Amino acid sequence: MLSEEEKAFIQYWEENRDKKKSLFKQLLPGISIGLSLGVAIVFMIDSGWYIRANMEAQSESSPYVIFFAIVGITAFIGFFYKKFRWEMNEQTYMELKAKEKKEQNNKQQ
């Protein structure tokens, strides 16, 4: 028997699965996760906790390279995190639908 929470998830996912699949909808909310990782990288570079790495970063890389690397990391992490979440929700939905169908078949027999 499906619980009320599982039924609510099935209803929610049937209504929103196509909306959440679009590229724009997947990229925007996930950006905060990637941006936090980028900020952590900048903090590690500026903190000076590893002097040798700090000297290398200051002498051989320009601020533009670091900026574009952080933007790339942000977009990459943001997109793949949301894509992963969508896939997990889709898998849960499919499992619950199979469970629901199996229960209906058992009731009919």
**pLDDT tens-digit map of 58-74:** 777 777 887 888 888 88
Specify if 45 maps to a domain: yes
Q: Is 61 helix (H, G, I), strand (E, B) or coil?
A: coil
Task: Tell me the pLDDT tens digit for each residue of 11-62.
Answer: 998 988 887 777 666 666 667 777 787 788 778 777 777 788 777 777 777 7
Domain that holds residue 57: 24-108
Q: Which amino acid is at 108?
A: Q
Q: Whole-angstrom Cα distance, residue 45 to residue 54?
A: 6
* 20 Cβ contact partners less than 8 Å away, ≥ 6 residues apart: 26, 86, 89
pTM score: 0.68
When divided into structural domains, the chain yields a total of 1
The reply to whether 73 falls in a domain is yes
Is 79 contained in some domain?
yes
Does some domain include residue 9?
no
- Cβ-Cβ contacts under 8 Å for 17 (sequence gap 6 or more): 89, 90, 93
Residue 4 lies in a domain: no
Residue 3 lies in a domain: no
**Residue 30 lies inside a defined structural domain of this protein:** yes
Asked if the structure places residue 1 within a domain, the reply is no
Angstrom distances, CA of residue 79 to CA of 31, 33, 94: 7, 10, 22
